Amino acid sequence: MSLKETIRQPMPCQDPQVRRTNFDEVALGYSEEQAVKEAARCIQCKKPRCREGCPVEVLIPDFIKAVAARDFAGAAVKLKEKNALPAICGRVCPQESQCEEKCILGIKSEPVAIGRLERFVADWEMAQGASATEPAPAKGAKVAVIGAGPAGLTCAAELAKLGYAVTVFEALHTAGGVLMYGIPEFRLPKAIVDKEIANLRQLGVDLQFNVVIGSSVTVEELMNERGYAAVFLGTGAGLPNFMGIPGENLCGVFSANEFLTRTNLMKGFRFPEYGTPVKLGRKVAVLGAGNVAMDAARTAVRLGAEEVTIVYRRSDKEMPARAEEIEHAREEGVQFQLLTNPVEIIGDENGWVKAMKCLRYELGEPDASGRRKPVAIANSEFVMDTDTVIIAIGTGPNPLATKSTAGLELNRRGNIVADEAGRTSIPGVFAGGDIVTGAATVILAMGAGKKAAQAIDAYITTKAAEAAN
Amino acid sequence: MYPIVRKEILSASVKLFDLKAPLVAAKAKAGQFFILRADEKGERIPLTIADFDREQGTITAIFQEIGAGTRLLGRLEAGDAVLDVVGPLGVPSEIERFDGPVAVVGGGVGIAPIYPIARALKEAGNRVIAIIGARNKELLFWEEKMAAVSDALIVCTDDGSYGRKGFVTDALKDLYEANKDLQRVWAIGPMPMMRAIANTTRPMGVPTIVSMNPLMLDGTGMCGACRVLVGGETKFACVDGPEFDGHLVDFDLALKRLAIYRDEEKRALAALEHHREGGRCGCH
């Protein structure tokens, strides 16, 4: 079949005018026909470059081949061989900068829609009520996983499959981490996260909520008193960054974490039935252009804000969010004020935000990140009317677990120093995800959790062998 | 679930719970707080740890019914349970042996969290002078408990219905006149009271610690709702506090931030009242 003959199957979506008033999932997923058609576009490269682009090396051509042959169950088996949470990854991975970027079809035409196919297979399997993999024979060793986000959940699943008794300790009242508090329902339905957690329980993983490592229990106690042979720290990104400009503590200035947690985790959009309120003015400015910024902006639209604007100091080419999220945001009416950065947030007499003083920028030479550096234009100051500011410019590491663990090496920023396999400066203590890398993606955290599980297995096995000699 | 093993009604609007929460009880220290969530739809409510019993695995919480969340909480009885309890959170009070007397000041429900601090100071060998105050006699509690952990106790009410008539600030001024070697003051209560205490001790040059109770969600440093301006620097009350140098806290800002959701709180309260009367509010 010639490459020109088929075009990439479009993703069916809720109409933008309808979806901007609800929290239901935006992307509706491929039909079986669409999935088979799209899978047929894959030319089954001998050296599949797509796999190199995937942090967990999903057997991409294999599962796609099975889809093309209408063997969806077989596709699911292939997919789950490398990825514990495909329904989630298919929805939130930045495929265009990972697997799909490497797809050979992308050179002359459009790459195979790998992410959409992954989602299709995972959803198909879930709809069949498929059961989780049976755990291996018990190894007789306990492992503690700290944090029930993408890194911790993946690590726990891998370890359980290997036969370890795994306990996950989570500080919040529910599992999922950023999948629950951060990513909105319209992008990742919480029912899907719940199903993945149920699978984990089926594997025998014990989940304990309301446990803050570093204050309720320490890593040292887990290893020395509670008999855990190893500990995995996947505590994630913590403290939200602020810009350090005047006016940031005014009423009406929120971190994206606060705004999204109120809405997603605490279901503030159903206040007062749910007890946690979420507050929004009429003109909302969201600072930043990553996935979290898009999530915040689109949530603001759904909560009824009249005008929502993304304010970003670089140009549209540098926006770090997934292409699909940016496109969806535009369709839903989110405005983009690019090459702009605030220098001050201005308040009224009651301490509420009323405007933002901004500078216009242009792009200069590439900086250390390889992106062209934004440079402020002289005398370009202007005032933007806004009554709500949501700051989505990243997060720093949470200090609770790391500060309380003596001997744990941290870098200058406070992230845990860990090697490729997740080994930290303390034998038996492993780490992965945002607490090591700084704020990154769900899939990278999952990849780290998986690698650490293998390293934990090797560590415990070696130690047991040494003890036997 | 975390059972309520004992409930005490301290006044019409102030309730006490002993909650079974062994992990929190095992580690709790003076000055720390915890967060509870009554049920699936409830808010995460931060409360200071008023007391703890490591052997029984219980912690004591005292709260005033102000918003809808605390009102619903107040309806629970001994034998009921709350869905979530997490802690201990925050940095414990810095307790040391001082070279002279120290004062602890508790206003209203602030008497509860000041108690473990007074006890820890006393156990560390300090001469502890306590001042507790409330609007009226009905709102006072724990006089005997406070007396047991302090060398002297001054009780005041705004309306003079019990003890000395007047504000805790007046009592503190007199205390300072009689004890010029006062080493440190801890003050916990409503923000305007803590501000007044800080303003009182500033000219005296007596270091003053206040415990901030801003809006909070996760309590572990994730949301930043609880940010407080201290000496021009933004701090998170949940992980940097809740105790701060009272002379450096920007109370004006803190008070404004405390009122961010005032309209929503009124709405929730109105909906709650309406439900009680059997009306329909259209909220679900």
CA distance A333 to chain B (A): 27
Percent of chain A with pLDDT over 90: 76
Nearest CB among A257, A261, A279 relative to B264 is that of A279
- The residue ranges of every structural domain in chain A are 16-128, 142-238+396-468, 242-393
pLDDT value, residue A81:
86
CATH of domain B93-210: 3.40.50.80
Q: Is B59 annotated as a binding residue?
A: no
Nearest to residue A116, comparing CAs of A80, A90, A85?
A90
Token pair for A270: 């159903």
Taking residues B151-174, report their average pLDDT: 93
Nearest CB among B217, B239, B253 relative to A261 is that of B217
Mutant choice from B82, B218, B235, B239 vs A, greatest count of A C-beta within 10 A: B218
CB contact under 8 A, B220 and A350: no
Query: Chain A within 8 Å of B136 (Cβ-Cβ)?
Result: no
CA distance B242 to chain A (A): 15
How many of the other CB atoms lie within 10 Å of CB of A413? Answer: 8
A256-280 per-position pLDDT tens digit: 999 999 999 999 999 989 999 999 9
Percent of chain A with pLDDT over 70: 98
Give the contacts of B14 (CB within 8 A, at least 6 positions apart): B62, B63, B64, B65, B109, B139, B141
Query: pLDDT class for B281, splitting at 50, 70, 90?
Result: very low
Q: Is B64 annotated as a binding residue?
A: yes
**Least confident stretch, A73-82, A106-115, A124-133, A455-464:** A124-133
Q: Does A406 or A131 have the greater pLDDT score?
A: A406
Whether residue A404 contacts residue A437, with contact meaning beta carbons closer than 8 Å, is answered with: no
User: Torsion angle of alpha carbons B262, B263, B267, B269, nearest 10°?
Assistant: 20
Q: Which residues of B touch A211 (CB under 8 A)?
A: 23, 86
Q: Which residues of B touch A273 (CB under 8 A)?
A: 41, 283-284
CA distance A261 to chain B (A): 8
pLDDT value, residue B283:
46
CB contact under 8 A, A171 and B85: no
Q: Is B69 annotated as a binding residue?
A: yes
> Which residue of chain A has the CA closest to B40?
A274
Whether residue A179 contacts residue A85, with contact meaning beta carbons closer than 8 Å, is answered with: no
A93-147 per-position pLDDT tens digit: 889 889 999 999 988 889 999 999 999 999 999 898 766 566 678 888 999 999 9
Assign a CATH topology to domain A142-238+396-468. FAD/NAD(P)-binding domain (3.50.50)
The interface predicted TM-score (ipTM) is 0.92
How many of the other CB atoms lie within 10 Å of CB of B64? Answer: 17
CB contact under 8 A, B221 and A238: yes
- The residue ranges of every structural domain in chain B are 2-89, 93-210, 212-273
Which CATH architecture group holds A16-128? Orthogonal Bundle (1.10)
A313-322 per-position pLDDT tens digit: 999 989 999 8
Pick the CATH number of B2-89 from 3.40.50.11740, 1.10.1060.10, 2.40.30.10, 3.30.565.10: 2.40.30.10
Nearest CB among B24, B220, B267 relative to A272 is that of B267
How many of the other CB atoms lie within 10 Å of CB of B270? Answer: 14
Interatomic CA distance for residues A187 and A263, integer angstroms: 13
pLDDT value, residue A469:
78
Interatomic CA distance for residues A88 and A150, integer angstroms: 10
Mutant choice from A222, A249, A254 vs B, greatest count of B C-beta within 10 A: A249
A16-128 and A242-393: same fold?
Answer: no
CB contact under 8 A, B224 and A173: no
User: Using beta carbons and an 8 Å cutoff, which residues of A are at the interface with B?
Assistant: 171-173, 181, 209-212, 215-217, 238-240, 242, 248-249, 251-252, 254-255, 257-258, 261-262, 266-267, 270-277, 279, 350-351, 398-400
Provide the edge-to-edge strand list for the sheet that holds B51-53: B51-53, B58-64, B14-20, B2-9, B81-82
pLDDT value, residue B284:
44
Q: Write down the pTM of the prediction.
A: 0.92
Regarding the domain with residue range A242-393, which homologous superfamily does it belong to in the CATH classification? FAD/NAD(P)-binding domain (3.50.50.60)
